[in-house]
Structure 1
Amino acid sequence: MHAVTLLAVLFLWTLVHSALCTNDPKARSAAEYNLHHYTTSWESIVNGHDKPETDTNKNFKGTTLAYVTPWNSKGYHVASQFCCKFDILAPTWYNFGRDKTGPFVRGRENARPAWIRKILSSAHQQCKSRGRPKITPRFLLEGGWDHTILAKTFDSRRTSQKLVELMMAEVKHFNFSGIVIDASHFDAKSTAKPPFLDFLNSLANQLKKSNGQLILAIANDQRLFDHEDLVEFEPFVDYFSLMTYDYSSPRKPGPSSPHEWALSIVKRLQGKDKTHSKKILMGVNLYGYDFIAALHQGQPILADKVVELLREKEPIVKWHPTYREHYFNYERTQLIHTVWFPTPQYLKNKVQLAEELDCGLSLWEIGQSMNSLYSVL
């Protein structure tokens, strides 16, 4: 019996060792992934969090959108390094709205033409089989989506048309491939729906003249946006970027995107026929949360801080089999903190779920996570 066990162990080691020693990058990447990325000890996460990924080809077959923010410069580097993993890059450069002087679009000073050229050049060299990622900046309604602001912003066709003109001026100036409109707090049941639909329709018509895409970021709350709304918006929206994260809060600490919760949200949005599934981009958070349950406090936490805490506290890292997220506890000033954070296994589960649901992914945002996550995509 012992001899059989020893032979089995030797056989498995031979398989892994041969994969690690091979010149085939895919085989080597898979072996390294199984050896390092799926363990849940703090040491393995710290040691492997920033290892360069040799396989930069896209493995996930669905559409992948990645947000990049100007306040987190690491995202620009990640986008360049892993450009072939992403179909759409959405830098959050612009605001729009209406003030005393009329409709406006702000944010051109945030744009990075040199970065765009670098992305397209890198993609031309590395992503020959699948083409270059599309650059589609996000436009955020300044001031929020309450009824007063909506009424002021979309009060007439003239106002809407002016906003379309201003947005298209940015598209043409930088040769963007489309636009993301952040409507993640828009109430599609409100009286602002008809003028907002008219605005989107006009914008989509202008974008289509240059094969541009229109993407709409939407809420995870079906009281604000449900399947019927998706069907109504779908004729002129190419993708819906769905915020399937931020499930927990300081008053209700816990995981960012529990598996069954995310599954139910996408299924409700799909409806029974699932005709428009490929247009849905299931949101995945690349940041974590550090909660102090006793004080009802919590704040977002990025990968660098997570790694710092793991080194300092050497905690036991646990995987929650129901929520399918990693977490750990640590103590500071006699208070217990719980940190939930994304890992390669977390992202792999999201990829598998997206494949099962026949939808895509939208990542918020790529400067916040460990580089080890991108091997999954």
Structure 2
Amino acid sequence: MEGSRLTYVVVQQGETLAELSERYRTSIEELARLNGGLRQVESGDVIKVGEEAPQFREPRVPTRHVLGFYTGPMGAAMPGSAASFERHARLLSSVAPYWFDLDRKALGQIKPRVSPTIILELVESARRRGVKILASIHNTDQAAGTTAADTLSAVMRSHRNTFYRNLFSLINEYQFDGVNLDFEQLRDEDRALYTEFVRELSERAHSQGKLVTVDVLGDARKVPYSVDFDYPGLAQSADYLGIMTYDQYKPTEAAPGPVAALPWVRDTLAMALEDGVPPRKILLGIPFYGYDWTIGKAGARALSHEAVEKLRAEHGGVVKFHPTYKVPYMVYTDKSGGNHEVWFENARSISMKLDLVRRYNLGGVIIWRLGLEDPTAWSAIRAKLSPIE
């Protein structure tokens, strides 16, 4: 039997106990009882808003795994991950630097984006802080006349052993604790082949005591949802399956919309669970970023939470919280008269997604990415995911 379950939230700027009691369908007196006689709240406070009776269910996951992706700066609106990693390493289980690609011109080879010095510096920094570091491998390298899906297919069909040798040479050279596979484009006919590829790779990695995490696209709008990836088959071999429940509305789309609406995230997760993926194997995707659309124009630009706040201050943007999607959004008019719609994530929306991790007894979360977040979101991560591996 599972013990009583508590629900925590992060208080947002300007919120009162009366507003919290109305939103969570409780009383001010009950909030006071749950929080040691609390009579007022301030922005950033983490408080209990609900308590459920014990329930019979599968054993509680003893610890949560929190994986944070790490990159350098990606323009003025997308700062790098170093400062966030150093500040919040105690709340991370592992970090996955976005540094390694399949080489499209030399199949089976792995192409680094940064120098050996930068790699070693982060490995040593992670070691000092007790955080596992994973070699994150992607198929985003650009080469004329090829696609990401073509490159991965060729590696799996004709250059698999070469890739394995190069991967474990990379892992051993820099003393990585494991591998994160982040192949986001897969041919339809390669679905079963990729499952076999991950099984072989996992056997090799586990024989050396290395961790394997595999990222998969998550989209409840697709029918069938897992047309790209065999969720249950991959979960059998990997230690964790990272479901990328973000980019619901992609920056290439003309119509603006949420990065990860709560109902969409919940539906995608439910499909994975119904398909037989063990909850303890799932890392739920948590976005730390947002997108800014100019109404009437195709495409959007990515923004950190800090960049959203700067836009709000500069243009007098109006921020609201969507009642159905359970995420914040902002409208503003730029200096040229263009009307904008910004969809992003803050501590409140992230906190609601973390409730899904607790409710469904998941293994943890994957975060894209460190350095883009609402700083107060870390209070919710601490409160809702502890104990963290």
- Structure 2 residue 207 is the aligned partner of structure 1 residue 209: yes
CA RMSD, aligned part only? Answer: 3.1
Residue in 2 that maps onto 1:96: 102
**In the alignment, does 2:331 pair up with 1:326?**
no
1:167 CA displacement: 0.6
The answer on whether the counterparts of 2:292 and 2:303 sit within 8 Å (CA) in structure 1 is yes
**1:31-55: CA deviation from partner (whole Å, max 9, x where unpaired):** 99x511389xxxxxxxxxxxxxxxx
Match of residue 305 from structure 1: 307
Query: Structure 2: which amino acid aligns with 1:201?
Result: R
In terms of mean alpha carbon deviation, does 357-366 or 305-314 score higher? 305-314
The CA deviation string for residues 274-319 of structure 1, in whole angstroms up to 9 with x for no partner, is 5511211111111111112223442111223212112222333211
Could you say what secondary structure the match of 1:351 adopts?
A: helix
State the distance in 1 between where 2:136 and 2:232 align.
22
Aligned residue number for residue 371 of structure 1: 375
**Alignment length, in residue pairs?**
318
Q: Of 363, 366, 370, which residue of structure 2 is paired with 1:362?
A: 366
TM-score w.r.t. length of structure 1: 0.75
Identity %: 18
TM superposition shift of 1:253: 0.7
Q: CA deviation at 1:375?
A: 1.7
Distance in 2, Cα, partners of 1:71 & 1:312 = 22
Q: Deviations over 1:204-252 (max 9, x none)?
A: 1221122111111111145462699222222211111111111124422
Distance 1:343 1:203 in 2: 37
SS of the residue corresponding to residue 294 of structure 1 reads coil
Structure number having the greater helix percentage: 1
Q: 1:65 is aligned with what amino acid?
A: L
Structure 1 runs (4+) deviating above 6 angstroms are none
Q: Give, in whole Å, the separation in 2 of the partners of 1:106 and 1:295.
A: 35
- Counterpart CA distance in 1 for 2:298 and 2:367 is 27
Q: Look at both structures and tell me which one has the larger radius of gyration over its CA atoms.
A: 1
* Cα contact 1:286–1:364 (8 A) shared by 2: yes
Answer whether contact 2:290 2:343 (CA < 8 A) is retained.
yes
Contact 1:227 1:270 in 2 (8 A): no
Partner of 1:8: none
Counterpart of 1:152, as a letter, is A
1:105 to 101, 104, 110: 110
Contact 2:152 2:186 in 1 (8 A): no
- The one-letter amino acid of 2:199's match is N
Which secondary structure state, in structure 2, belongs to the residue aligned with residue 241 of structure 1?
Answer: strand
Structure 2: distance between partners of 1:62 and 1:151: 33
Query: Which structure 2 segments of 5+ residues have no match?
Result: 1-17, 19-27, 47-61, 382-389
Q: Shift of residue 371 of structure 1? A: 2.2
- Partner amino acid, structure 2, of 1:37: G
Deviation at 1:103, TM superposition (A): 2.1
Match in the other structure for 1:180: 180
Task: Give secondary structure in 2 for the equivalent of 1:154.
Answer: helix
Long gaps (5+) in structure 1: 6-11, 20-26, 40-59, 124-131
2:155 counterpart residue number: 153
Q: Which residue of 1 aligns with 2:14?
A: none
SS of 2:373's partner is coil
Q: Residue 229 of structure 1 corresponds to which residue in structure 2? A: 230
- In 2, Cα distance between the equivalents of 1:322 and 1:83? 33
